[in-house]
Amino acid sequence: MLCPRSLILDRVLKSAVSFSCRKYSVGQISQQGKVPDMAEVRNRLREIVGASTNWQDHQQVLVERASLSQYLARSQDQLPPKRMKDSMIEAHLPLGSQPALREKYLNSHNSVRFGRILEDLDCLGVLICYSHTWNEELKRSPLSIVTALVDKIDMRQNIIYPDCDIKFTGHVTWVGKTSIEATMHMSQYQDGAYTDVLDATFVMVARDPENKRAAFVNPLKPEGPEEEAIFHQGEVNKTRRVELSTASLLKVAPTAEERTLIHNLFLNTLDTRRVSFRGRILLPNSVWMEDAKLKGLEICHPEERNIFNRIFGGFLMRKAYELGRANACVFAGCRPTVVAVDDILFRKPVEIGSLLLLSSQVCYTEGMYVQVRVHSEVLDPLTRQHNTTNVFHFTFCLEKDVPAVIPQSYGESMLYLDGKRHFDGTMRNHC
Ligand SMILES: CCCCCC(=O)SCCNC(=O)CCNC(=O)[C@H](O)C(C)(C)COP(=O)(O)OP(=O)(O)OC[C@H]1O[C@@H](n2cnc3c(N)ncnc32)[C@H](O)[C@@H]1OP(=O)(O)O
């Protein structure tokens, strides 16, 4: 069932589609009269920033881009306000009409690799932000727009067919001083009509051409009550994100109710034959959190670079998703389907050549659902220093009830509670 915001968004996006068909030129982002496919979206992004097509040239391109700093606005007031329509985009992934594309998107269950969809959403989200900030007088954008956060992705349909065309639509829904919220919608052509598949909300941040400091973006001017409501929801999202971050278990103690829950889990697993706080036994149909982990290593080759010569955020999401899904599958012994993705935070860019350590943990389960957290960090092989770059949260639904996952240490208990908070938030959204 669509939530009220999705309904409003759906209506605006539908009007966006008719807008894009009527006059398909979004700030010269797309060719007149033609709906781009995902390959064209990527090419257009490269053109907008003048990205190198050859890794050997990337230093030269960096120097060229640095000279664009002169075109940055000194304040947001210098930039003309833009309408939601200015960033509205429709793009196609023609899996049905171009069979050659399917191989890249296919998984072994004859469904679509969701990690590939995450990559496409990331590219489209960035293109939407470039459409919003487009200055017709410049050949290249002086802004480096990076993904800061995936606020949420809600699945409306669990199966994505590998042989039916996919349509993405989206536009800017909220703007701060240097950050932009882009909301996207994906649907798939089945039985003569497009059916909703997912809604996604990303937050992008504009940086200077060298990606060193924040840069101002055009204000957004909502038109009419529907757009006002969408913009207001963007404000609400921002406030919620700040509140969530303030209440993070890394900063403050759990609530009284959460403490009771953890203590009950502890009491339930105490070995009553021993008068000891250390004697723990596992209840039937339960797994220690320690045994619900799966890890991986990625070597970050230039092939995975983005238009700013750092590792592409979509690639990081795909790798984290695939590891998290594999972990849910091993844990439950059956096939998981993704229900929601939320609160993916891109804390630091990942440099080309990095050793990226990915660590996934089943941190909470309920009925047929599994909540997985994937933590990624860069390891400097020379200093052996670890730096967290991302944290990902995925909710999966399994084909049967799954075992309970039980924390032993205090740190694991906090992971458990954090997982429960994410799971509860996801379920609230789906009701
Ligand atoms: C192919 C094309 C795709 C390319 C896309 C990519 O691959 S990008 C690659 C993946 N992503 C990355 O590598 C990004 C890694 N992360 C970073 O570099 C940094 O964390 C960051 C630039 C996002 C944010 O850095 P800082 O926190 O220092 O930024 P700063 O404090 O100046 O804030 C800048 C703006 O970002 C907002 N901001 C910062 N963190 C935020 C968060 N978690 N959620 C929401 N908004 C956030 C602030 O409110 C502010 O907006 P206001 O000014 O409006 O209040």
- Please give the distance, rounded to the nearest whole angstrom, from the Cα atom of residue 157 to the centre of ligand 1: 30
Handedness of CA 410, 415, 421, 427 (dihedral sign): negative
- Give dist(CA 157, CA 134) in Å, integer: 34
H or E, element range at 359: strand 355-366
Instruction: Indicate if 285 and 163 belong to the same structural domain.
Output: no
Q: Can you read off the two tokens belonging to residue 416? A: 């458990």
119 with 223, same domain: the answer is yes
Sign of the Cα torsion 303, 305, 308, 309 reads negative
Q: Is any atom of ligand 1 closer than 6 Å to the C-beta of 202?
A: no
CATH of the domain at 287: 3.10.129.10
* Nearest ligand 1 atom to alpha carbon 204: 23
Task: Please check whether residue 332 lies inside any domain of the structure.
Answer: yes
Please indicate, yes or no, if residue 185 is contained in any of the structural domains. yes
Q: In this structure, what token pair is assigned to residue 21?
A: 């068909």
Whether residues 230 and 266 share a domain: the answer is no
Find the 146 Cα to ligand 1 centroid distance in Å.
6
Q: Is the CB of 148 under 6 A from ligand 1?
A: yes
Ligand 1 contact, 354 CB (< 6 A): no
In this predicted structure, what is the pLDDT of residue 300? 94
Same domain, 186 and 322: no
Q: What does the alpha-carbon distance between residue 147 and residue 205 come to, in Å, rounded to a whole number?
A: 6
**Cα(111)–Cα(422) distance, rounded to whole angstroms?**
26
Residue 412 lies in a domain: yes
- DSSP class of residue 91 equals E
CB of 295 closer than 6 angstroms to any ligand 1 atom: no
User: Does 319 lie in the same domain as 188?
Assistant: no
283 belongs to a structural domain: yes
Token reading at 245? 């971050």
Q: What is the 54 CA–ligand 1 centroid distance (Å)? A: 26
Same domain, yes or no: 66 and 203: yes
CB distance 216 to ligand 1 below 6 Å? no
Structurally, how many domains does the chain consist of?
A: 2
Measuring from atom 48 of ligand 1, which residue has the nearest CA? 179
Contacts by 408-413, CB closer than 8 A, 24 or more apart: 408/280, 408/288, 408/289, 408/290, 412/289, 412/290, 413/262, 413/265
Burial of 340 (0-12, 13-18, 19+ CB in 10 A): buried
Q: What is the pLDDT of residue 6?
A: 47
CA 147 – ligand 1 centroid, Å: 6
Structure confidence at residue 431 (pLDDT): 58
210 & 310 share domain: no
- Closest atom of ligand 1 relative to the 349 alpha carbon: 13
Decide if 421 contacts 240 (C-beta within 8 A). Answer: no
Q: Whose CA is nearest to atom 13 of ligand 1?
A: 349
For residue 291, CA distances in Å to 287, 330, 357, 420, 425 come to 7, 11, 18, 18, 25
In a domain, 3, yes or no: no
Q: How far apart are the C-alpha atoms of 96 and 37, rounded to whole Å?
A: 13
* Pocket perturbation via mutation, ligand 1, pick of 43, 52, 152, 205 by most ligand atoms within 8 A of CB: 205
Domain with 113 in it = 38-247
Question: What type of residue sits at position 106?
Answer: L
Instruction: Give CA angle at 168 (165, 169), nearest 5°.
Output: 140
Tell which atom from ligand 1 comes closest to the C-alpha of 203.
45
Residues 6 or more apart whose CB falls under 8 angstroms from that of 116 comprise 104, 105, 318
**Ligand 1 site, residue 238, Cβ cutoff 6 A:** no
3-state class of 192 per DSSP? coil
For the chain, which residues score pLDDT lower than 70? 1-33, 431
Contact (CB, 8 A) for 294 and 323: yes
Q: Are residues 44 and 161 in the same domain?
A: yes
Rg (C-alpha) for the chain, rounded Å, is 22
Does residue 9 sit within a domain? no
169 and 314, same domain (yes or no): no
Q: Which atom of ligand 1 is nearest to the CA of 175?
A: 54
pLDDT of residue 383: 87
Q: Among the atoms of ligand 1, which is closest to the Cα of residue 245?
A: 43
Say if residue 62 is in the same domain as residue 152: yes
240 and 305 housed in the same domain? no
Q: How far apart are CA 342 and CA 83, in angstroms?
A: 27
Residue 11 lies in a domain: no
The reported pLDDT for the residue numbered 32 is 53
Residue 30 covered by a domain: no
Q: Are residues 291 and 359 in the same domain?
A: yes
**Cβ proximity of 338 and 395 under 8 Å:** yes
